[in-house]
Amino acid sequence: MPPALILLVGLVSASSSVIFIKASQLDPVLLSAGRLLVASAVVAPLFVKSLGRHKSFFREHGRRTLVPGLLLGVHFISWIIGARLTPAVNSSLLVNMVPLVTPFFLRVVAGETLATAERLATLVAVAGVLWLTGWDFRLSRDYFVGDVVCFGSMILFALYLVLGRANRDFPDVWLYMWPVYTSAGLMCAGLTLFATDLSHEPFNARELALLIGLGVIPTVLGHGSINYALKSLRGQVVGVANLGQVISAGLLAYAILGEVPHASFIPASLLIALGVVLVFRKRRPATKSTAT
């Protein structure tokens, strides 16, 4: 399957996380721990199979999965907390500023610089996000903490994506993703013991189903596919394409939750889609080395 198609599947899957998060009543730290540990359990057989073929490689390079795991876990927690402290429009705008910061991280961490076409595609796609959310963005003392948390969560996600590109020499995506999910899940689980009053959490069949869905669809299928696409797609291509989640999340929220999007959703979505098309049409040739 072409990397671009795999990335599309990953982005649509990842965008469904907002549906599960909105429906769940679990504490953010507990919800993050649960989704990551579910993902770890699902991916474990694939990791074991890959480990049998690449054991010596993993012994030497497995430690490089710890930082991405830490970043992913803190991103999940901070995103849920921030989204609950500030209006949806604020959190949406801030978290979708990833393509504006990834060029710096890509240059420093992965040794990639942007092509002219990638700069143009970034500006077009981000303009679409600004069209959709920028006019409704509200600066307020009441939302300051939430805005700061969402901004920090965006930085963490950008670093996580860039490290996925930098670790492109991993021979198999699951050899990379299982320790990322596991380290992130264990870190979140440890925080749960100190930050969550488990006696007040609504443990029931509905929450369990939501937790499993969150772990499998946006986490395994979503993040797994995105990291697999980073095998052969440049970091900024994935960063710009990630803005497509604005479109798919809006459509899913309308279809499942009955949330009617803002009137600017259609023209803004067309502008975002144009940016994504541009970044794929004019992208530089990918390197021959593989990535996760």
Q: What is the pLDDT of residue 292?
A: 40
Q: What is the pLDDT of residue 18?
A: 80
> How far, in Å, are 22, 33, 93, 152, 237 from residue 215 at the CA level?
15, 10, 25, 23, 25
Closest CA to 82 of 194, 9, 157: 157
For the chain, the domains span: 3-281
* pTM for the model: 0.86
pLDDT of the chain, 292 residues: tens digit per residue: 788 899 999 999 988 888 888 888 889 899 999 999 999 999 999 999 999 999 999 988 989 999 999 999 999 999 888 877 776 666 667 777 888 899 999 988 888 888 888 899 999 998 888 887 766 566 667 778 878 888 899 999 999 999 999 998 899 999 999 999 999 999 999 999 888 888 788 889 999 999 999 999 999 999 999 999 988 898 899 999 988 888 888 888 888 878 777 788 888 889 989 999 998 875 554 444 433 4
CA 29 – CA 81 distance, rounded (Å): 9
CB-CB contact of 93 with 130 (8 Å):
yes
Q: What is the pLDDT of residue 137?
A: 62
Q: What is the pLDDT of residue 210?
A: 94
Amino acid of residue 64:
R
